[in-house]
Amino acid sequence: MASKKQFYLTTPIYYPSDNLHIGHAYTTVAADALARFKRHQGYDVMFLTGSDEHGQKIQRVALEQGVTPQKYVDRIVAGFKHLWKTLDISYDDFIRTTEERHLRSVQRIFQRLYENGDIYKSEYEGWYCVPCETFWTERQITGEHVCPDCGRPVELVKEESYFFRMSRYAERWLRYIEANPDFIQPVSRRNEMISFVKQGLEDLCVTRTTFDWGIKVPFDPDHVIYVWIDALANYITALGFTSADETKFRHHWPADVHLVGKEIVRFHTIIWPIMLMALDLPLPKKVFGHGWLILDSGKMSKSKGNVVDPLVLVDKYGVDAIRYFLLREIPFGSDGYYSEEALIKRINSDLANDLGNLIYRTLTMLNKYYDGVVPAPGLEAEVDRDLRQVARTAVLDAEAAMDRLEISVALEAIWELVKRANKYIDETAPWALARNKEADRLATVMYNLAETGRILAVLLVPYMTSTPRLIWEQLGLSADPAAQGWAAAKKWGGLKPGAKTHRGAPLFPRIDLDKEELTMDTEKTTVKEKVSKTPKVEKKAVNQIDIHEFGRIELKIAEVLLAERVPKSKKLLRLEVALGQERRQLVAGIGKSYEPEQLIGKKIVVVTNLKPAKLMGVESNGMLLAASFPGQGEEEAISLLTVDRPIDSGARVR
């Protein structure tokens, strides 16, 4: 095989269930980002996922639905594969535990453990949680007869069973964990596992006789193998372990990372390593236990039911937005929170405002000043060196974070560059450079912005699947950013002057935040206004008004979505603004102080209940607020009123 460094990465294999929600998708999307990152770095990646199809729970559900367990799992697994395809999951193999290659290998593994004296027959009497497929001792359930993991009732089980001699390996396990501090991550989970084993490791019951939906014990077919022993083995059965051809196994094993949710860390860091020790095989290099995406139990997920279905979300918001949200929202080692509102806020702030605007503004200005052709850089200034430095830091920080599996931290590092570049536009003010004919500076600034776009396209390859290519194509580059390799982001200057760019639509359109809520708010406001009578105005000193008079002026925060000059006017700009879910057109006389590109994304203050007026034939539905001050020469300069912290458009100004 090739001499490239190899990287073997796995997700857990999923229980067939009709309720796959966005939280389930998290593990697989996170693993996919990691797989794509490693491929981008030049590794020979093997990325495995699959389905965990045996056990009492599946048999019961199939029975309830009146189908055979095999029919039941076949239907659900087809759904999994469709979901992974929709989310652009780039797995290299999908293992089903009902496949022949898996069944045979698990039986041979069990036989080997039995022959080595690590499996023996006895009688099991204790508690079993069917939903978790977990055995519990009397001591562990502390007399309450509910599962310590999920809180559901446990069942008393008494049957003849085979046991796995885990107790024999407790000392060796502890020594291994001490000697390999990176094996269980994050550290908090490692400490939990150590204290669990130190309390005493009992032998594990590894067969059942009261149902038959499982892999039969080869030498005693009345018994089926415990589903966790069956499932954990997938990481090596998929590589052909014990089959006639073990090439893949020899090439890929041991795994570099098993990525799992925090609730199944115990199985992966205690039972699985001990199985491997008993088989005399090397242990995986790392088990990483990530946090959960906590679902909002409020109106959205319960009453509408379908919003947490990943397929519905992808349909509504697009694959890249959903992938970005999942990867960005669960911080390293802890839980993240899901609500559709949180999702929309992320899309609007990080994707539409930050990334989308940066690329759109850059390409708009390239069109305007250079007919869309990337200029050769000219005169250099301190601010350019700063941008380059931030780009370099972003690449290095993101790389280091990915190596620690801190995916959300990697994205934060990349967004440092996105934000710096947006600030760079405001600081360098290309429109002023163009106006003042500072051609040398303008060329440098525009080159640097396009080059930042190129670097971002390369950096985003692991996380999003169509956006990096779109940026790439818009910058007039050929081939594919994924083909460049991660290192292409480390070298400043990869973009060749002369490239012909093609501006497209903004990458991520802004989304109206929960229309229903906003509609309700608007209604409330309207009703209030209708009932408030026109106030009796008393004669006051000149220029004084009372609070009711002021209250008649409706002021709101608006976000500028589009800005362009009104033809044949030096002063007038036509703006399209968002006021919550409403869109409006305004015409403003600020064209001598502002270039249109400068305004996109700005949050300004607008009088919204002014009668419409036409200015040079263009209708204006409101008036923005600005202060005037003496400018250069005779001219009066203008400064727009904006807000000093993040705020949604549509907010009232009082």
Length of the chain: 654
Q: 51 or 207: whose CB is closer to ligand MSP?
A: 51
CA nearest neighbour of 559 among 367, 416, 348: 348
* Phi, psi values for residue 634, rounded to 5°: -80, -20
Taking the complex as a whole, the smallest distance from the CB of residue 186 to ligand MSP amounts, in Å, to 15
- Which of the stretches 9-17, 134-142, 385-393, 405-413 binds ligand MSP when contact is defined by CB under 6 A? 9-17
Calpha distance 178→194 (Å, rounded): 9
Q: 13 or 129: whose CB is closer to ligand MSP?
A: 13
Calpha distance 72→650 (Å, rounded): 49
- The owner of tokens 């501090």 is 181
Q: In sequence order, which residues have a C-beta less than 8 Å from that of residue 276 and are 6 or more positions away?
A: 282, 283, 284
Q: 31 or 511: whose CB is closer to ligand MSP?
A: 31
Q: 31 or 482: whose CB is closer to ligand MSP?
A: 31
Out of 8, 9, 24, 325, the only residue in the binding site for ligand MSP (CB under 6 A) is: 24
Q: 14 or 128: whose CB is closer to ligand MSP?
A: 14
- Which of the stretches 19-27, 141-149, 273-281, 572-580 binds ligand MSP when contact is defined by CB under 6 A? 19-27
Calpha distance 580→578 (Å, rounded): 6
Q: Please report whether residue 424 would count as binding ligand MSP according to CB under 6 A.
A: no
Taking the complex as a whole, the smallest distance from the CB of residue 619 to ligand MSP amounts, in Å, to 49
Taking the complex as a whole, the smallest distance from the CB of residue 127 to ligand MSP amounts, in Å, to 19
Calpha distance 599→254 (Å, rounded): 54
- Which of the stretches 83-91, 113-121, 256-264, 437-445 binds ligand MSP when contact is defined by CB under 6 A? 256-264
Q: Please report whether residue 23 would count as binding ligand MSP according to CB under 6 A.
A: yes
Q: 23 or 430: whose CB is closer to ligand MSP?
A: 23
Query: Do the Cβ atoms of 320 and 36 come closer than 8 Å?
Result: no
Judged by CB under 6 A, the chain residues 143 through 172 that form the site for ligand MSP are: none
Q: 268 or 469: whose CB is closer to ligand MSP?
A: 268
Q: Please report whether residue 14 would count as binding ligand MSP according to CB under 6 A.
A: yes
- Which of the stretches 227-235, 407-415, 429-437, 501-509 binds ligand MSP when contact is defined by CB under 6 A? 227-235
x/- mask, ligand MSP, residues 231-250, rule CB under 6 A, reads xx-x----------------
Calpha distance 108→112 (Å, rounded): 6
Residue nearest to ligand MSP (CB): 261
SS3 603: strand
Calpha distance 535→546 (Å, rounded): 10
Taking the complex as a whole, the smallest distance from the CB of residue 124 to ligand MSP amounts, in Å, to 21
Taking the complex as a whole, the smallest distance from the CB of residue 314 to ligand MSP amounts, in Å, to 17
x/- mask, ligand MSP, residues 185-224, rule CB under 6 A, reads ----------------------------------------
x/- mask, ligand MSP, residues 32-71, rule CB under 6 A, reads --------------------x-------------------
Taking the complex as a whole, the smallest distance from the CB of residue 12 to ligand MSP amounts, in Å, to 4
- The owner of tokens 């590092």 is 413
Residue 223, H or E segment: strand 220-225
Out of 8, 9, 13, 360, the only residue in the binding site for ligand MSP (CB under 6 A) is: 13
Taking the complex as a whole, the smallest distance from the CB of residue 260 to ligand MSP amounts, in Å, to 5
x/- mask, ligand MSP, residues 280-319, rule CB under 6 A, reads ------------xx--------------------------
Out of 93, 263, 380, 523, the only residue in the binding site for ligand MSP (CB under 6 A) is: 263
Query: Do the Cβ atoms of 475 and 499 come closer than 8 Å?
Result: yes
Strands 555-565 and 603-607: antiparallel
- Which of the stretches 228-236, 491-499, 591-599, 609-617 binds ligand MSP when contact is defined by CB under 6 A? 228-236
Q: 260 or 321: whose CB is closer to ligand MSP?
A: 260
Order of all β-strands in the sheet with 220-225: 207-208, 220-225, 216-217
Out of 7, 8, 26, 136, the only residue in the binding site for ligand MSP (CB under 6 A) is: 26
Q: 234 or 593: whose CB is closer to ligand MSP?
A: 234
Helix, strand, coil percentages (3-state) for the chain, rounded to 5, are 45, 20, 35
Out of 129, 264, 276, 640, the only residue in the binding site for ligand MSP (CB under 6 A) is: 264
SS3 210: coil
CA nearest neighbour of 36 among 361, 462, 623: 462
List, in sequence order, every beta strand (DSSP E) within 281-367.
287-290, 293-295, 336-338
Q: Please report whether residue 27 would count as binding ligand MSP according to CB under 6 A.
A: yes
Tokens of 285: 């290099």
CA 370, 426, 346 angle in degrees (round to 5)? 105
Q: 53 or 320: whose CB is closer to ligand MSP?
A: 53
Amino acid at 357: N
Question: CB count, 10 Å around CB of 583?
Answer: 14
Q: Please report whether residue 322 would count as binding ligand MSP according to CB under 6 A.
A: no
504-507 long-range Cβ contacts below 8 angstroms, 24+ apart? 504/363, 504/470, 504/473, 504/474, 506/352, 506/356, 506/357, 506/359, 506/360, 507/351, 507/355, 507/356, 507/359, 507/360, 507/467, 507/470, 507/471
Fill in the DSSP letter of residue 6: E
Out of 7, 8, 9, 12, the only residue in the binding site for ligand MSP (CB under 6 A) is: 12
CA nearest neighbour of 154 among 135, 171, 139: 135
- Which of the stretches 23-31, 218-226, 512-520, 569-577 binds ligand MSP when contact is defined by CB under 6 A? 23-31
Residues that bind ligand MSP (CB under 6 A): 12-15, 23-24, 26-27, 52, 231-232, 234, 260-261, 263-264, 292-293
